[in-house]
Amino acid sequence: MRSPPANSNTPVTSDAVVFNYQRPTRARLIALGTGGRLWLVEAFDPLHKVWVWQDESNNMEQAVEGARRLSLFPS
């Protein structure tokens, strides 16, 4: 369990789902400090060892499906 951020305006993140078919991708929920929420779709860049933004959505199902589809294609 993650501890709450020190500043209430700091975004809180959590991983929703990670796919690893042809390449690692994930759909991640960002809880914004303003009370809003945003789903990010990210793909892992193994060369630089970072997650790279691919898409965003307000809809969980759309974000998870986007991450699943993105994971099916080789990088």
Strand positions, DSSP E, the chain: 12-20, 24-31, 37-45, 50-57
Q: Is 44:31 a contact under the CB 8 Å cutoff?
A: no
Instruction: Pull the structure tokens for residue 35.
Output: 């009370």
Question: How far is it, in rounded angstroms, from Cα 5 to Cα 32?
Answer: 12
35-73 pLDDT tens trace: 888 999 999 999 999 999 999 999 999 999 999 999 998
From the list 8, 66, 56, the residue with the least C-alpha distance to 30 is: 56
6-43 pLDDT tens trace: 565 666 766 678 888 889 999 999 988 888 889 999 99
